[in-house]
Structure formats: structure tokens, C-alpha cells
Structure 1
Amino acid sequence: MHISTEEPGAAGTMDPPGRASPIAWLETLNKALATLVEVPAALLVLAEVVVLLMGVTSRYVLHEPLVWSDELASILFLWLAMLGSIVALQRGEHMRMTAIVGKLDARRRAFLDLVAIAAAVAFLAFILHPSYEFAQDEVFVTTPAMGIPNSWRAAALPIGLGLMLLVAVMQIFRLGRMKDALLALGLVGLVIGALALAGPLFMSLGNWNLFLFFVLGVGAMVLLGLPIAFSFGLATFGYIALTTTTPTVVVVGRMDEGMSHLILLAVPLFVLLGLLIEMTGIARAMVNFLASLLGHVRGGLSYVLIGAMYLVSGISGSKAADMAAVAPALFPEMRKRGAKPGDLVALLSATGAQTETIPPSLVLITIGSATGVSIAALFTGGLMPGVVVGVTLAALVWWRYRREDLSGVRKASGREIAKSFLISIPALALPVVIRAAVVEGVATATEVSTIGILYAVVAGLLVYRQFDWKRVYPMLVSTASLSGSILFIIGAATGMAWALTQSGFSTALADAMKALPGGAVTFMAVSVVAFIILGSVLEGIPAIVLLGPLLFPIARQVGIHEVHYAMVVTLAMGIGLFAPPFGVGYYAACAISRIHPNEGMKPIVGYMVALFLGTVLVAAVPWISIGFL
């Protein structure tokens, strides 16, 4: 999940230091570069939809598969990932954890933002030449279906990283005073120089380097507000360059591997689908129908929020899109009925965590990509855990609102309910269409999003007549930006996971986990605690890429079904992601709700306890996850 918000303690945009005045030529260059990158990024999102939809149509309708469609989609996908990363860097939308930095005064926070950009400059400068070498080597590889050199795809890395470097250098001088920018660059350079001088010492420390680079190093960078992807990348590059004799081009190769899984193409497509259902009125139709059914009971709109998030999550796969689609439709009426702002944002955050397993969850897609678990099985297994955790949340809602005054609330008539149901039928059918397409083999988990996109466009144009053409281009650019920030993290985390594996850490971890007393029960309990912590610091996707390939084989060895394990760790990460003070999902909910984070701190405790109890129940009863496989 990606969050971009200006609330304190959130992940997202960087606060600009107060500079005297903008530099005219730099602003002009920045705008020109933005256009140069955003237009092809938007077109690439559109091209991916068209290519995959052609593949589905040709295979299922015409019974003549297009052998080149997946290959072309893969080539375009790496370009989309890199251009999207550039847009995200330009907009300050790369994921970062600023719970600590956000507590500082404006001047110190602004300077640390410049340090974060300077660190990004350092990483991009280090990795640029190895990426060029990597692309050169790919000249000798020919793609099987289209018969073209693979360098057409690999060239996205040096070109994308080079443009990112240019953007980062521009940003540091655009957002800060000259003195502050040079000081930030000098400070980062000083740290790098000191590490380089200590190189011989690192070579003698053996596996202690793992602790220094990947625990202390990554931890310090993340807490200082460096974007997570660049924190991973710097730690990995430093470890490879200073403690091993491995060529640094390997880091680029692993990043390419991480970002090139075709199944990850579902990320931008489901993000786009999430934006479409909000724009076309599909989400509002669902919410209105549920509100007509339950709006007259105590806590009724809270139940509607839980149910609406469940339904919308099954369509969009993006938590930020889910919350943005549901909250504006419900919160005004809930406020009229006396709901406190803190309770609203607390419940919104809790439902975000509850629905992490609802397909097509981006975390589930990442688990399938990183561990080889069947995506179709994960999609099937994810439905019931979301229901179980939703019931635990509903039980708490019942307790909290059992004395709610409904004297001024009118019950919807049967005619009104029937009317809202008829209006919502096309909206309610969308999750069914998506899941049926996967189960019946019409489309893969990657391709099915294109069917959802086509359905949403048709429903918006012909049924709900809510389709603002002016919003299409900004939506495509936003999709590219969000996808780029996610995929760049996956690439950096893949490189870091490879370094950990090569060092022997994975073997040592596996042996330690297998040696825990209590077998499967202890392993599951430790996993829940570990992924709650990881979810709050790293978010779900990088945590899965790092630890999924290590822990899922151990789960199988101790007798835990991989789909069951996937559901439990996903729910655990959801708790971490939405639990303050570190969970960035909570601050996203605050930004979307326009509610100050302090107001929800007390009410959210009860909801987090309910989520934890629901997760424990899912962990204790495997049937909930695997009963329908």
C-alpha cells in the first residue's frame, strides 16, 4: 500500500524548507521534465490495458492466443515502473516513514527532507553506471516471441535512473536554500566517505556486517525519513561494495528481477481500477444501498462502512483508493448522527486493515510473486478471513453504539431500498465478474483487472453517466506514480533479500525458526508479532519481498498450509500498517477524513484489539483460510 499525505507522521510528501524565491529557469526545466515523463507514463498505463485486453479477447473469444502479448507487456512494464518512479520522485510520493521526523520543528524537518533527497542522489549516482553495464549485457539476449534484443527492455533502467538522478538534483535545489542544499549533500557525502575509508574494517567483520548495514543502517535511514526504497538500495549497495567482492552490477540485476515479474502488472491496473470506481459512481452506489438497509439501526452506518470497505476492496486492491471512495460518502451523515471524529477515523483505519486479504489485494499479489503460491488460491482464501475480522469489528461497534439515539433517523421504505438495490446492481456485480473471470479461467490474476477496467468504463458511461474525461489523464499519471513507487521498493527489496540470502542469513534464520519449541503454534505466534512490527515500519509489500521467500518454506516444513500462513501474516501486517504511532495507513485515513491524528489515538485502541483477536482466530482455525480451496 502507498500513502501520500501531508499529515504529521505520515509517509509521503516532503515539506519544503522556506526558500527565498524560486529559481525561474529551474522551475521551467522542472515543468518541462514533468511533461516529458508524465505523458509517456500515462500512455504506458493505457497501452498495458490495451495489450492485456487484446490477449484475453484473442485467447478466450477468438481461441487464437497472441504469443507476443505477454512479452510486449513485460517490456512496457519495466519502462512504466521506471517512469512512474520518476514521477513519484518529482511529486515527493515515494513511501517514507516520518513518524519521528514529523515531531520535529519545521526547520529541522525541512532539512532532514533535503538529507533524504541527497541520499537518493547518492544511491542513483552509485547505481547509474552498473545499470548501463547491465543494459549493455542484455544486447546479447533475444526475446523468444518478438525476436528483438532484450536491451530494448533493459534500457529502461539506465535511462530511468539517469532521469531520476536529474530530478533528485533539481528537487534539492528547488525545495531548499542553496546553503541548506549544499549542507545536506555535504553531510551525505561525508558519511559515504567515512564508510568508504572504513572498508577494510568491514571486510574483517564477517556476518556482523549484516547487522550493521541491514539492521542499524536501514533502521536509521528509515527513521530519519529517507524513502524506504532508497534506504534498502543504499544498504544493499554499501554491503555489496564494501564487504564483498561481488560486482555491483548484481544489485541492478536483482532490482530488474524484482520489478519484472509480469504478475506485478496487476499493481498499476488495479490502482487504475480503484480510481475508476470512485470517479464513475460505482462505489457510491454500493454505499447508498447498504445505507438504506442498515442506516436505521444503532451503529448502522458503522456496519455500512465495514461492509462497503469489504466490497470496494474486492474491486480496487488499493487501500488509499478504498478509503477515498467510501469515507466521503458516509462521514457527513455519521457526523450528523453524533459520531465523534476520532471514532470515525479509527474505524476507517481498522476496516483498512480488515480488508487486506480481500482479493485483489496488492499484498496477496506480491506474496504470489515472491513465494510462488497460487494467486487464484490466495484470492479464494482471502474472502473468509476478511469476514471473520469484520465480525469482530462489528461486535465492537455494537458495544460502542448500543445506546445511540436514533430518534431523528428515518427508516428507509421498502420502495427506497428496492430502488437503491436496482441502482447498485451493476456496482455489486463488478466484484462477482472479477472473481468469476479468475475462477473460470477467462483471465489470469494479472489480466482480470483489464476486464474490471472495461466494465467500470462502460458502467460509468452508460449506467451511472458519471465519467469525467478531464480526469482520465490525471488518473493515468497518478496510477503511474503510485505504481512506480511500489515497484521501485519491490526492486530494492529484492536486491536486499538476495544479499541476505547469499550471506547465509536465510539459512540461519530458517534453522532458528525451525528450532523454536512448540512447532507450528510457536512459529505462527512469532510470525504474527514479527509481521505486525514489520508492517508498521516497512509496510506490507517490502516486508513480504524480504521475508516471504525465507519464511513460507519454513511454514510448509512445520505443517502450516501456505495459503493459511499468507492470510495470517497479511492480517498481521495490516494491523501494523494502520496502528499508530508508526503505521502510515492510519495517517492516510486521517488525511482522507480531514481529521487530526490525535483525535483517533484513543478510539483506535479498541479496534486494534478487535483486529488482533480476529487475526488470532484466523490463525487458530485453518479452515477459515483454506476451507474453500
Structure 2
Amino acid sequence: MVDVVDTLHIPENLSENEDARPGSAIMRPVEIVAAALVAFIIGVLLLGVVSRYVFSLPFVWVDEVASIAFIWLAMLGAAIAVDRNEHLRLTLFVGMMSARLREFVETLALLAVAAFLGAMVAPAIEYAVEESYVTSAALNIPVSWRVSAIAVGIVLMLLLTLRYVFKTGRLVDIAAAALVVGGLGLAFWLLGPTLKGLGYYNILIFLIGIVAVCLVAGVPIAFCFGLGTLAFLVFSTSVPTVVMIGRMDEGMSSLILLSVPIFVLLGCILDATGMGKAIVDFLASLLGHVRAGMSYVLLGSLYLVSGISGSKVSDMATVAPALFPEMKRRGYKPKDLIALLSTGAAMADTVPPSIVLIVLGSVAGVSIAGLFNAGFVIAGVLLVALAGLARWKAAAEDMKGVRRAPLAVIGKVAIVAAPALVLPFIIRAAVGGGVATATEVSTIAVLYALVIGIVLYGGIGLRKFYQMLVETAALSGAILVILGTALAMAWALTQTGFARDLAVFMANLPGGWLTFMAVTIVVFMILGCVLEGLPAIVLMAPLMFPIAKNLGINDVHYSMVVVTAMNIGLMAPPIGIGFYIACKIGNVSPDEAMGAIWPYLIALIVGLVVIALVPGLSTWVL
């Protein structure tokens, strides 16, 4: 999903009826503009890096221009994701329904999305008009040039959603779903005076109840948050809905988040050039001859490849095809391979350039450099835990015919892999050492990967590169809309006073910071199962981090606990989305793999407990 979703179209977020719906022809102009915006943002940021570090002549307008292009990229990308059905959603419960009921529920989910988007059109236009009276600092142009993207994106998504409803839904289902949505809206409106006096019960009704029902119905997560927050503001408060647009704008506009689409593109380049495969081959030549060596190679590859791609799905799709055939020959069962693959991907999510860490740093105000420095160490702790379990389980591994690779072969593979191997360390050293920001490093890394990929790894055709730019736009848009609506929901929670009361309650728990850590682990493991990583972080970070700080917990230490707990939840069946992605990549039935993953999850939990109890593991590198 991204770590939110994948760059390879592993359709964990698609319905069974429409597993690979391509983009429609009417969206081709939008895709061209979005692809151009990705390239333009990278070009502008590279110009800023060169002017600052080479000529010592920084252009003050670079950040502003990039910010304008970024919000347009986010909203156009979100529209492309709607067109391609690539917004992340939970399909577990929809998949359990009968075919006829599923058709109706999917139509209902689409109309719920359309209702949310339709309700947000007028506030988005109002917000753009209000911002037209504000002038930007560097370019001296109305800010409405930037925020108009929100209105345009909402209108595009609304039209595409309605088009898809009438293209795929039965008229009887559309009519019934419209009655349900309209009836609920009317009922809440009539109950408005009563609801406004219910206090915190409105959180239970709207910000938990409606969001939960929408999740079960398969509404994309971004719109689950949006529907819950919009209903909460409209029916239980007097806050104008234009405020919600402002909060969404804030959630999508942080300059730190500029690195998200660039690292997404970097993951695409990794897939296309085979840089990840080169790392796998090198580790296999070093360790493949020892007992459990292929498990070590799998875990080590995920650790290093994550330092390039920033995407768990990209990592798993790179590693699995290269290692699974040999591991099966040595007697590994497919279910054990899936267990090791999925938990290994969870282990590696703190390795820079983790998009989760970048987003966490943005919403919680934690140093990206500190997170990147600590992330390597924390992933190393989890790597040791998984490797120990893998060694114990490899007692019966079939080592017949396995030979140590000759030094000449190792040297040859090392030369091929060297340019790919150094990239994660360059990223970590540059950001962690304070030499450059995550955004600046991401642009340099993309340029480096493109050049190395073209020269050493076979290159990328223009058509393929264009497709990668469009994929980057769609995935980035899906991620950023989640961030926008989740931040709006988190803001609504704080305005009720709930955050203050939660802080008081947590501070008075017996056991102090240890109890708070235990609660944190449970909360984020559950949220990781249901919501996936980014929305869980954006929703809860504004509530939990101030409490942690008041209890004397270091921000970076707490971040490592949060991200690790969330990733364990992401891979935990029967709900964890990442587990199903791994099953699809490995072509193994989830029912078959479900029992095998628990020992590996327990190993991760043991590692997590160590990380939580020993702050120095996270802070000694700061």
C-alpha cells in the first residue's frame, strides 16, 4: 500500500467481478497530463537540487511550483485510480456474500462514494473561491491555482463513479441502493437536533459506526473516512463542510509527501530494470549453500530491496519468483514460503525509503532522518528473529546437490549487483546524515536508478516508462486521498475533545509507559489488519504521539513500535491485506497458508516486544 496498494496491480483491492479493469479511453488525456506532472515534479526538484548544491543558488520558487503540481497530480491520480478501480478497499466480507447480494452491495458502495463526492463538490468550489483572495509568496499568484485541483478531482471522480454505476449495475439495484443512501441521509437529518446533544456517542455512530459499515460493504478506505467525517460534521455539528476540504488539503499538501510519488516511481524502475533480481542473485551466491541459506537470502533480499523500492508488494514480487523454485526443490512447502515471504516483507517496512516512515514523519512531526537511521536497526532486530526461526525449521531441508558457488561466480554477480546494492545505503546516508531531505534524495535516486538501469540492466522503453508514470500517478493519488480524508477525520476527533480525554485516560493507566506501549501494540495491530498502514497512521498519530511524548517516550522509538505493530497486523490472517497479497504472488491458497504463518508472526511479536522494551535500539543511532 505502498505500501497502500501495489505498483504491480496485484488486485487485493479489486472486486471478484472486475479483477483487472483497464483505464477507459476517455481518461487518456488525464493520464497524459498526470504522467507529465510526475516527470515535471521530478525535473523541478532536480533543478532545485542542482541549483542549491552545485551552484549555491537556490531558486525560492521551486517548492511552490512543485507544491502546485503535486496537488494536481494527487487529484488527477485519484481520478485515474477510480477509473481503474485501484483505490484500496477491504473485500473480505463482500467476498463471503452470495453473488446476487454482492452485486447489490457493490452498487450500494459505489452510490455511497458518489453521494460523498457529490456533497463535496460545492464546498470544494467554495474553498477555491476563498483561496483566490490569497496570494502565494514566491510566484505571487492566487492560491486558487493550486486548490482548484481539489474541485476538479472531485468532479472527475464523481462522474467516473456514476458512469461505472450505470455501466455495471442493474437498474433495480441502483434504485434500491439510492433509496438506502437517501433514506439514511434523511433519517440522520431528521434526527439532527437529537444527535447534536449526544456528545461522544456521535463518535461511535459516525466516526466508528458508519466507517465500519462502509468498510464491510467494500467502500474504498479513503471514502469510508470521508463519509464518516462528512456525516459527523453535517448531522451532529454546525461546522461548515468547507472546513473539511481545508483539512483534506492540509493532509495532501505537505512538502515532505512530495517524495511519495517519486519513491513509488523508484519502485517501478526497480521492477522494470531487474535491479532487485541482481541483489537476490548476489545473496544467493553467498548464502545459498548453507542450511536455511535460501531463507536467509529471501529475508536479506527483502531487507535490501526495500531500501530501493519502498513498496512491500514490489519487494515480494521481485523476490518470490527468483527464490521459490529452488526452495521448493529443497523441500520447503508452499505455505511455509508464503509465511516467510509475508512476514519478511513486514520486517522490512522500516528500511528506508519506507513511504510509511515518510508519511509518519509528516503527520506526527518526527524527524525523517531519525526515522531512517533507526529503521535499519529495527528491521535488523526483526531479521534476526525471523532468521532464527527459519534456521530451526530448516532441520529437514534437502541439501543434496547443493554446492558452494565458486569465487569467480560470486565476484561476477557482485559486480552486476554492486550499483543496486549501494543505492539503499546512499539513501540512508544522505537523509540520515542530514545531507539532503527525503524529497531531494528521492529525485537523485530516481535519476541514478534510471541511468544505471539503462546502462547496466537493460534499460526501459519509452512506452514502458510512460506506463510507469501513469501507474505512479494512480497509486500516489490513491495514497494521498486516503491521507486527506484520514487527516480530516482525525481533526474531527480532536475537535470533540476526545483526544484530550483520551490523553488523560492513558496517562492515568497503571503501569505508566509500559502499559501505554502494550495498548499501542494492540491498537495498531488491529488497525493494521483492518485499515492497512497509511490510513491507520494518519488517523491515530495525532492522538497517540502527544500522549507518548507526555509519558517521556522518544518519538523515534515510539514510531518504530507503531510501524512494526501495524505491519504485523497487516500480515495477520484472516483480515490482514498483506497476507492475501503474498498468497496471490506465491500462487498459494490463503486457507493453506493461514496456519503456517503464525509461528513467523509470533517471532515478529517477540522482536516487537524487545524493540518496545529497549528504547536504545531505536535511539542509539540518533
SS in 1 for 2:597: helix
* 2:382 aligned to which of 376, 384, 389: 389
Q: How many residues align?
A: 619
Question: What is residue 507 of structure 1 aligned with on the other side?
Answer: 500
Question: What is residue 445 of structure 1 aligned with on the other side?
Answer: 438
1:424 matched to 2:410: no
Per-residue deviation, 1:181: 2.9
1:257 matched to 2:259: no
* 2:59 aligned to which of 53, 66, 82: 66
- Measure the CA separation in 2 of the matches of 1:372 and 1:156: 26
Q: Which range is displaced more, 304-313 or 439-448?
A: 439-448
Per-residue deviation, 1:94: 0.8
Provide structure 1 residue ranges, at least 5 long, that are not aligned to the other structure. Answer: none
Per-residue deviation, 1:6: 12
* 1:55 aligned to which of 23, 37, 48: 48
* 1:530 aligned to which of 503, 518, 523: 523
Question: What is residue 325 of structure 2 aligned with on the other side?
Answer: 332
Q: Which range is displaced more, 410-419 or 151-160?
A: 410-419
**Which residue identity does 1:98 align to in structure 2?**
T
1:216 matched to 2:209: yes
Per-residue deviation, 1:520: 1.0
**Which residue identity does 2:301 align to in structure 1?**
A
- Measure the CA separation in 1 of the matches of 2:497 and 2:576: 31
SS in 1 for 2:413: helix
- Measure the CA separation in 1 of the matches of 2:29 and 2:65: 22
Per-residue deviation, 1:412: 1.0
Per-residue deviation, 1:5: 11
- Measure the CA separation in 1 of the matches of 2:562 and 2:133: 41
1:408 matched to 2:401: yes
1:116 matched to 2:117: no
Answer yes or no: is the 8 Å Cα contact 1:259–1:487 preserved in 2. yes
Question: What is residue 318 of structure 1 aligned with on the other side?
Answer: 311
Question: What is residue 369 of structure 1 aligned with on the other side?
Answer: 362
1:425-469 Cα distance to aligned partner (Å, 9 max, x none):
111111122222224444211121111101111111112224233
Identity over aligned pairs, percent:
52
SS in 2 for 1:157: helix
SS in 1 for 2:391: helix
Aligned pairs for 1:84-103 within 5 A = 84-103=77-96
Question: What is residue 15 of structure 1 aligned with on the other side?
Answer: 16
TM-score (norm 2): 0.96
1:282-341 Cα distance to aligned partner (Å, 9 max, x none):
101100000011111222111111000101111111111221222222222222323211
**Which residue identity does 2:447 align to in structure 1?**
L
RMSD: 1.9
Question: What is residue 399 of structure 1 aligned with on the other side?
Answer: 392
- Measure the CA separation in 1 of the matches of 2:316 and 2:460: 20
Answer yes or no: is the 8 Å Cα contact 2:14–2:91 preserved in 1. no
1:178-200 Cα distance to aligned partner (Å, 9 max, x none):
33233323322222222222222
- Measure the CA separation in 1 of the matches of 2:16 and 2:185: 25
Q: Which range is displaced more, 331-340 or 87-96?
A: 331-340
1:35 matched to 2:37: no
Q: Which range is displaced more, 51-60 or 432-441?
A: 432-441
Provide structure 2 residue ranges, at least 5 long, that are not aligned to the other structure. Answer: none
1:198-251 Cα distance to aligned partner (Å, 9 max, x none):
222212212211111112221121122111111111111111111111111101
* 1:492 aligned to which of 485, 497, 500: 485
Answer yes or no: is the 8 Å Cα contact 1:5–1:11 preserved in 2. no
* 2:298 aligned to which of 305, 316, 330: 305
1:174 matched to 2:167: yes
Per-residue deviation, 1:17: 8.0
Q: Which range is displaced more, 506-515 or 534-543?
A: 534-543
1:250-292 Cα distance to aligned partner (Å, 9 max, x none):
0111001100111111111111101101211210110000001
- Measure the CA separation in 1 of the matches of 2:460 and 2:330: 32
* 2:578 aligned to which of 566, 581, 585: 585
Per-residue deviation, 1:104: 1.9
1:370-429 Cα distance to aligned partner (Å, 9 max, x none):
111111111111111100001100011011112211112232111111111111111111
Q: Which range is displaced more, 109-118 or 60-69?
A: 109-118
Answer yes or no: is the 8 Å Cα contact 2:7–2:472 preserved in 1. no
SS in 1 for 2:439: coil
1:352 matched to 2:345: yes
Q: Summarize the Cα distance change of 1:93–1:244 in structure 2 as closer, same or farther, 3 Å threshold.
A: same
* 2:464 aligned to which of 471, 476, 484: 471
Answer yes or no: is the 8 Å Cα contact 2:7–2:475 preserved in 1. no
- Measure the CA separation in 1 of the matches of 2:61 and 2:147: 18
Aligned pairs for 1:73-222 within 5 A = 73-222=66-215
- Measure the CA separation in 1 of the matches of 2:558 and 2:592: 34
Answer yes or no: is the 8 Å Cα contact 2:351–2:375 preserved in 1. yes
